[in-house]
Amino acid sequence: MSDLVNLIVDVHDARWSEEVDSSARRAIATLGLRLGPSDERTLAWIDAEFGGGWSREVFLGDAIVAFDDDEPVGFAAFDARTLSYAWLRGVARDPGVGLFGPVGVASAYRGGNLGKALVALAILALRSRGYSRALIAAASEGRLARYYERTIGARVIERFPRDQILGRKLRTVILASGNGSNAQAVIDAVAPGDLALDIVGIVANRADAYVLERARAASLPTNVLLWNRSDESRERYDDRLLDAVRSWEPELVLLLGWMYLLSPTFIAAFPRMLNIHPAFLPHDASKDTVTMPDGVVIPAFRGAHAVRDAQAASSPWIGASVHRVTAQTDRGDVLVRSPLRMSDHARLPLVEHEILLRAIRLFLFAS
Ligand code: GAR
């Protein structure tokens, strides 16, 4: 697999003139498109088109978006802040450096001038914000890096061999209550070395949870912690759960279909914890609705019965999200998410497995 590289563009270079700005705008107008800032619908469209891992970066910064009527067809993001990926610990820390990207164009518009025009406008936006250099971070070495070298005079400044970014494997505990197909997806990716985790244990809170079979088949240690409400207090059970997970000394805890509300003490004990949730959650955690790729606004469907609630509400959309776990249920930072039409709901498990692996990889890059 190719290495990742960081490229730098000097935005004070004479080539970044007013003329570049007006010709980019002309090119976009010629295509019959209009320009605007990113909105919630754009974020959902980006997830639908480009795999679900980019909208967070766009949410944390700004973007120039090309719209065909109200429909986004291309975007170039810039100036994302508060990201903590491994590749942002070098030159990215220089205050004169502004982050560029990601950039994406709908398939119908690829190969034309739209991408180039959006790239130029995002570079110019960084320049007008006072940055002296733009950083194109974590580009695959090869075609993409060469594209930026050729088209905008970028040069490689840092290089990250993929196997060195991750370093060692993170000790990971999985909590699951049922079937465990998400746990299986993780187990299957870890086994051949595709995911740098060391699964040190799996906890179930039901004796008949099929995830236990899966754990046994993979020779992974398990712990079944049942809560009998009639003879054990919630506090006592929470203590047992905390002790059990702590005894494995995890660096990462994954909630994969874990249907029991965790105590604030548990959540505080494991700050590196991710959850998979069967709904398309908004990046703005304070919101209770979310805009979908077609512009339809639906409830955020948090809580234990997200799919059932979406069906009961006749929602045209469902989806899946992987987010950090915080004390507020289903309101931690969303790392990766994917919208899914209700009519395609049978694909939900597959979509979940895909975004789960993607989210864990992103998380590892940020650890
Ligand atoms: C998944 O759909 C997951 O999103 C959901 O439980 C299912 C578990 O499937 N989690 C929640 O609803 C959490 N609130 P699995 O056991 O096959 O991985």
Residues 106, 179, single domain; the answer is no
Residue ending a domain, among 103, 136, 164, is 164
Question: What percent of the chain stands above pLDDT 90?
Answer: 91
Q: Ligand 1 in contact with 337 (CB < 6 A)?
A: no
Q: Ligand 1 in contact with 302 (CB < 6 A)?
A: no
Q: What is the pLDDT of residue 336?
A: 98
Q: What is the pLDDT of residue 101?
A: 95
Ligand 1, atom 14, residue with closest C-alpha:
304
Give the number of the atom of ligand 1 that is nearest the alpha carbon of residue 276.
Answer: 4
Residues 228, 317, single domain; the answer is yes
Residues 86, 172, single domain; the answer is no
Residues 84, 219, single domain; the answer is no
Q: What is the pLDDT of residue 241?
A: 98
Average the pLDDT over 182-187 and give the result: 98
CATH number at residue 341: 3.40.50.170
Residues 312, 203, single domain; the answer is yes
What residue type is 212 in one-letter code? L
Give the number of the atom of ligand 1 that is nearest the alpha carbon of residue 182.
Answer: 18
Q: Structure pTM?
A: 0.96
Give tens-digit pLDDT for 109-150: 998 899 999 999 999 999 999 999 999 999 999 999 999 999
DSSP E strand boundaries for the chain: 4-10, 34-37, 62-68, 71-78, 97-105, 133-140, 155-160, 170-176, 197-204, 222-224, 252-255, 273-277, 289-291, 297-299, 317-324, 334-341
Mean pLDDT of the residues in the chain: 96
Give the number of the atom of ligand 1 that is nearest the alpha carbon of residue 307.
Answer: 12
Residues 9, 120, single domain; the answer is yes
**Gap from CA of 58 to ligand 1 centroid (Å):** 27
**Gap from CA of 121 to ligand 1 centroid (Å):** 41
Chain centroid to Cα 81, Å, comes to: 15
pLDDT for residue 27 is more than 80: yes
Query: Which of 12, 277, 283, 353 is flagged as catalytic?
Result: 277
State which residues form the domain around 356: 167-365
Give the residues across from 171 on adjacent strands: 198
Residues 32, 149, single domain; the answer is yes
Give the number of the atom of ligand 1 that is nearest the alpha carbon of residue 256.
Answer: 18
Average the pLDDT over 283-293 and give the result: 98
Residues 175, 295, single domain; the answer is yes
Residues 133, 189, single domain; the answer is no
Residue ending a domain, among 146, 164, 182, is 164
pLDDT for residue 10 is more than 90: yes
Radius of gyration for the alpha carbons in the chain, expressed in angstroms and rounded: 22
- Backbone torsions φ then ψ of 68, nearest 5 degrees: -105, 105
Q: What is the pLDDT of residue 367?
A: 74
Residues 117, 251, single domain; the answer is no
Q: What is the pLDDT of residue 162?
A: 76
- Backbone torsions φ then ψ of 77, nearest 5 degrees: -95, 155
Average the pLDDT over 338-348 and give the result: 98
Is 277 designated active site? yes
**Gap from CA of 20 to ligand 1 centroid (Å):** 49
CATH number at residue 100: 3.40.630.30
Residues 199, 84, single domain; the answer is no
Q: Ligand 1 in contact with 278 (CB < 6 A)?
A: yes
d(CA 76, CA 175): 38
Tell me which of 352, 353, 355, 356 to substitute to probe ligand 1's pocket, judged by most ligand atoms within 8 Å of the beta carbon.
352
Ligand 1, atom 2, residue with closest C-alpha:
278
pLDDT for residue 14 is more than 90: no
Residue ending a domain, among 137, 164, 191, is 164
Give tens-digit pLDDT for 230-275: 999 999 999 999 999 999 999 999 999 999 999 999 999 999 999 9
Residues 271, 136, single domain; the answer is no
How many distinct structural domains can be found in the chain? 2
Q: What is the pLDDT of residue 341?
A: 98
